[in-house]
Homo-oligomer: A and B are copies of this chain.
């Protein structure tokens, strides 16, 4: 399915962001993840739980049930499922049939969001999640924005594609963050196992009214835009604004902001989108704007969300689509190939085992840490 070959959907043995922490509590939350209903809740001790969201008895959504102790109770006939997915009580009988259980997803709550591993829980090594400390998300001194969330009416790869080609900034986001000619600026491409990174240095860029107003920065500026895609659905960026003509090695940036995007397949034609940011408190101007004005950032993300919906609308109405790749897509196509390779690998035997061998030290978040600190 576009933009992948027929039959390719999404890799299962990978971490994805499933929810914001604040969304998961003692009331069940249903969310589709990779085309399957999942129910999320917290145990009495506050531990987040994700179970297959359909009661195996008669198919009633567990998301419409209730939480009791550490279990979720189906709202139809009262079957009780514990946090590990085993059924501990059936009101109408004393014995539990062996098949009467639901899958318990591996989850890992880090910072303000919850990661899920839709595939084999045995392979779900939390060390495979990008290191949140290195990302700047766990440093109490940084000014963080609580994650925003959108349900996007478009297949997830369209949103990955969006983030992998920042030449859209100048056009789609012309009124907000589009200052400086991103499209005309040479892009540096780096990559490693499971990730790709794009870096641009835009000298002497003008500053949009939006940046001036919401971030308190006057132009012209030199601007570095760096965005790393840790396939299949996490993007972490690093934007720095300098007074034009500064030496980036020596000057303090006017603004040093980390941006985080998480993209998770919901169904085949829709996805979840989480976005957040963190700012180095040492960069002064930001304190005037961040995080006081979430509405302002909302506009940018909404532009992307609507664009994805528009592309999906035409795909739905008008069938498959043969795109024309441009030079600006070289980076994005490499990112897309990473995802595609992950899907293909899972179709091969013993793929899960291989996946669990990913050493933590080779993950991009750590490299990021090395490079930016």
Contact = CB atoms under 8 A, between A and B. Distances in A.
Contact of A54 (B75, B168, B318): B318
A181 interface: yes
B90 A326 contact: yes
Contact of A324 (B97, B172, B267, B315): B97
Nearest to A79: B326
Interface stretch (A57-65, A111-119, A211-219): A57-65
Nearest to A172: B76
| Closest 8 pairs (CB-CB, A-B) | A91-B183, A92-B328, A78-B171, A92-B183, A92-B167, A56-B324, A93-B327, A100-B324
A172 to B, nearest CB: 6
A33 B53 CA distance: 32
A323 B334 CA distance: 42
A263 interface: no
A77 interface: yes
A309 to B, nearest CB: 10
Count of identical protomers in the assembly? 3
A74 B324 CA distance: 14
Contact of A91 (B90, B184, B310, B318): B184
A323 B59 contact: yes
Contacts of A64: 307, 310
A314 B54 CA distance: 8
Most chain B CB within 10 A, of A32, A53, A57, A97, is at A57
A37 interface: yes
A32 B326 CA distance: 27
A57 B317 contact: no
A370 B355 CA distance: 69
A35 interface: yes
B318 A184 contact: no
A276 B167 CA distance: 46
A171 B314 CA distance: 39
Given A78-B183, A168-B76, A328-B77, A58 B323 contact: yes
A75 B326 contact: no
Contact of A76 (B37, B56, B92, B307): B307
A59 B91 contact: no
Which of the listed residues A99, A168, A181 has the most CB atoms from chain B within 10 Å of its own CB? A168
Contacts of A298: none
Contacts of A60: 307, 310-311
Nearest to A167: B92
A93 B220 CA distance: 24
B328 A171 contact: no
A122 interface: no
B61 A313 contact: yes
Nearest to A101: B324
A171 B76 contact: yes
A37 B313 CA distance: 11
Contacts of A88: none
